[in-house]
Amino acid sequence: MDLDAVTDELYGLPPDDFTATREQRAQQARQEGARELAGEIHRLRRPTLAAWSANLLAREQPEQARLLLELGEALRQAHRDLDGGRLRELSARQHQATARLAGEAARLADQHGHRISEAVRSEVAGTLHAALADPQAGRDWAAGRLERPLAAPVGFTPGEAGTSIPGGGAGAGGAAAPADARSRRRATKSDRGSSQSDRGRDRGRGQARGQGRDAGPQTGQERARHRKQLARAREQDCEARRALEAREGEHRAAREAAEQAAERQDEAEQRVTALREQLREAEDDHRRARSEARTAQDRLRGAEREEAKARRKADEATARADRLADGS
């Protein structure tokens, strides 16, 4: 028996069978004299339902797991290459793949007797995103031995809406395009004004200058207001994301605490069951011993009676012998 084999066995089991099997393997290791191994086995934690579902997917669909990890490597390479077109293509595939595989994990879990909730399914999808983002997380998931669901690193959002992608035509350049168009329209009007007579051209230039004086501050005010609105929206978005991450963290912590409490309850119930069995066996032993003691006491009393009879007979025989000796 070795830790790697036991770990692989335990994390391939349904969650309900984990604790009992772990304790059996730990006891077996202790009986074999491997106390350190027994301690390591006992410290293995039962996987959460989300982690077990993700493990089940990796174990039963290894080819799909391999393809997902390859997609993750391709995404990271596209990021390194600043390849906007490739990044958008792979990002679309990423979302399709994680949604499909999270659904497949739910189907497999249901086949194994565990219907998972949308919250658990979301944690499975988060694990798949983490496997895409981080090579080590991907290897951990593919091994099928997760205790807890994984979380994707903050900032790994390739190709999401609103993300600035090189070559995508968005970002600062795209935002400036409407202002450039207005400038071009003003220039065109000015060109048309220059083709008029001197008097009309002067009047046109005067009007254009007046319009320019009016439009300039208005455009600047609009841009300043837009920048403030954008900054406020971004700040609100960051605050909302931080609040969401905090609530998600609290939810994960509460879920883990509940699962750990359930595991401790299972272990306590198993100890109670074992102690009850030991008590029953001890009571059986006690009843047998008491019965044997009664039987032994009965035999003892019988032996004492027989001994008394034998002693009386011996005494009588001695007395007769003495009388005969005196008469002779």
> In whole angstroms, what is the distance from residue 163 CA to residue 166 CA?
10
112 and 254 both lie in a single domain? no
pLDDT at 21: 94
* Domain-located, residue 171: no
Residue 294 included in any domain:
yes
Question: Could you give the angle at the alpha carbon of 126 between the alpha carbons of 45 and 243, nearest 5°?
Answer: 100
Q: How far apart are CA 35 and CA 150, in angstroms?
A: 31
Q: How many Cβ atoms sit within 10 Å of the Cβ of residue 68?
A: 24
* Residue 321 counted as domain residue: no
pLDDT value at residue 202: 46
Same domain, 17 and 148: yes
218 part of a folded domain: no
Taking the whole predicted model, whether its pTM rises above 0.95 is answered as no
pLDDT of residue 154: 55
| Per-residue model confidence (pLDDT) at position 218 | 58
Residue 311 lies in a domain: no
The answer as to whether 99 is a domain residue is: yes
pLDDT at 58: 97
Q: Looking at beta carbons, which pairs linking 85-92 to residues 24 or more positions away fall under 8 Å?
A: 85/167, 87/158, 87/159, 87/165, 88/159, 88/165, 88/168, 90/158, 90/159, 91/158, 91/159, 91/160, 92/159
User: Are residues 142 and 254 located together in one domain of the fold?
Assistant: no
Q: From 153, 183, 213, give the residue that closes a domain.
A: 153
How many domains, the chain? 2
Q: What does the alpha-carbon distance between residue 98 and residue 127 come to, in Å, rounded to a whole number?
A: 9
Q: What is the DSSP letter of 112?
A: T
Q: Is residue 172 part of a domain?
A: no
Query: Would 14 be classed as within a structural domain?
Result: yes
pLDDT at residue 217, as a whole number: 47
Spell out the per-residue pLDDT of the chain, length 328, in tens.
Answer: 899 999 999 999 998 899 999 999 999 999 999 999 999 998 999 999 999 999 999 999 999 999 999 999 999 898 888 888 888 999 899 999 999 999 999 999 999 999 999 989 999 999 999 999 999 999 999 999 999 999 866 545 443 333 333 333 333 333 333 333 333 444 444 444 444 444 444 444 444 444 444 444 458 888 888 888 888 888 887 888 777 777 867 777 777 777 777 767 777 776 787 788 788 888 888 999 999 999 999 999 999 999 999 999 999 989 888 888 887 6
**Dihedral angle of Cα 64, 65, 71, 75, to the nearest 10 degrees:** 150
Domain range for 60: 3-153
d(CA 217, CA 55): 61
Residue ending a domain, among 132, 153, 174, is 153
Domain boundary among 137, 153, 169: 153
pLDDT at 170: 35
